[in-house]
Amino acid sequence: MLTIVAFIVAIGLLVAVHEWGHYRVAVACGVKVLRFSVGFGKTLYSWKPKRQRPGQDTEFVIGMFPLGGYVRMLDEREAPVASEERHRAFNNQPLRVRTAVVAAGPIANLLLAVLLYAAVDWWGVQEPRPVIAAPVAGSIAEKSGLAGGDRVLRAAFDDEALAPVQSFEDVRWLLTRAALDGHDVRLEIAQDGRRGAREVVMPLAQLHPSEADATLFRRIGILGPLTRPELGDVVPGSPADRAGLRKGDLVLRVGDIDVVDGQQLREWIRSQAGGATTTWRVQREGRAIDLQVRPDTLADGGRSIGRIGAYVGAPPEMVEVRHGPVDGLRRAVVKTWDVSLLTLRMMGRMVVGQASLKNLSGPLTIADYAGKSASMGLVQYLVFLAMVSVSLGVLNLLPLPVLDGGHLMYYLWEAVTGRSVSEAWMERLQRGGVAVLLAMMSIALFNDVTRLFG
């Protein structure tokens, strides 16, 4: 139920903001708006405000299906217009007005993202300390000399000046951008409790854009922040239960390997396909105990992995990240810009085949993330809303005829040539745009089903 409610609220809000952008600029420019609808299909509720701006008689509607919306304006191409109202028809407006009205929807989504990111920065958020878990064996991080327990003090791309790092999320975002944009990353790191710091260079420019998929961070080697190798809930009848492991056990050693963090232990368990029995040394109530543990073997994505049937790893140590009014707003603008560029580049790379189409997500994945973020609290839900709002804004700016970006391309043609796109060409382009959009939606839905049910 939480997933459904969170999804409906998210889509309803983002669509309403997008259409409000069109509506507000249209009204400000003197264009008559006939209907403002959030959702399609059967009308669930409608109303007309008693006080409206001069020349306006807008009906506001909530439709049954929330996956979209529209603003219907007076337009001679859609229905006859009385002579005394021709000056309020959209098609009779100057090019600059039509451009402003169309662009206002995506811009409203981007401004909403800025506001949401700023609200999170002002409110403050609990994030993991920038202390990394043990890198994946053979990964770029391990080959670069990183080790579990390394705390990232400062970081930068290539030869840029090192900037302070406040949380593990800063590290994750920096690595994501570097991998997708082809940058190497410099990290200034130190071990907690030890003096001195050292600099490490991670050659992420060697990653090909096509590798930017769900396994990206496994290739990089940094999967999460440092966590204590402590066991959580144990499934009854599982290998952990049969071996005598209990919730709260702190794992000190497996075989001849000293365990320093939960991620290292999880990776070791995954590598134990085949069911070999190993001696585990755990600390329980202040004393060390040796237990014999034999993981089960399970299939995962075409390969075999080990499982013990217990939650591995305590929650990471957290730090509060909060910024002042000016700095928070500045960071929000930068974050919105960075996410917009990243989204646009990924879309471009998918079009030319440099990135996998598996990166496309549809409504099922959005709904799943909406529920998960809402269950984590208001701040995480706001971050989720900001990310989707950026995606919606960027998507609508793509030069597809059925989207706002397509109409802006028509206006660009009109500005350059001095004449509008012919009705015949517009019809052809509309059909092509619908075909491309349907193909994208089909791929996204297939990816959703594969991720959630595959």
Catalytic residues: 19
Total residue length of the chain: 454
Q: Terminal CA-to-CA distance of the chain, rounded, Å?
A: 22
Beta bridge mates, 128: 318
What is the bridge-based pairing of β-strands 163-164 and 150-157?
A: antiparallel
The span from the CA of 441 to the CA of 433, in Å, is 12
DSSP classification of residue 132: B
The span from the CA of 158 to the CA of 380, in Å, is 31
DSSP classification of residue 235: -
- Do 180 and 172 meet the contact criterion of CB atoms below 8 Å apart? no
The span from the CA of 70 to the CA of 390, in Å, is 19
State the residue for tokens 């349907």.
438
Q: Which amino acid, one-letter code, is at 81?
A: V
CB atoms within 10 A of CB 65: 12
Residue 200: in which H helix or E strand, if any?
strand 198-202
Instruction: Quickly list DSSP for 280-313.
Output: EEEEETTEEEEEEE--EEEEETTEEEEE-SEEE-
HSE, side-chain direction, 13 A CA sphere, residue 194: 9
Lookup: tokens for 433: 């745009």
Lookup: tokens for 382: 């706001």
Instruction: Quickly list DSSP for 162-184.
Output: PEE--SHHHHHHHHHHHHHHT--
Q: What is the side-by-side order of every strand in the sheet holding 150-157?
A: 163-164, 150-157, 185-191, 198-202
- Do 83 and 92 meet the contact criterion of CB atoms below 8 Å apart? no
The span from the CA of 263 to the CA of 260, in Å, is 9
What is the bridge-based pairing of β-strands 150-157 and 185-191?
A: antiparallel
Biggest distance spanned by C-alpha atoms of the chain: 91
HSE, side-chain direction, 13 A CA sphere, residue 78: 9
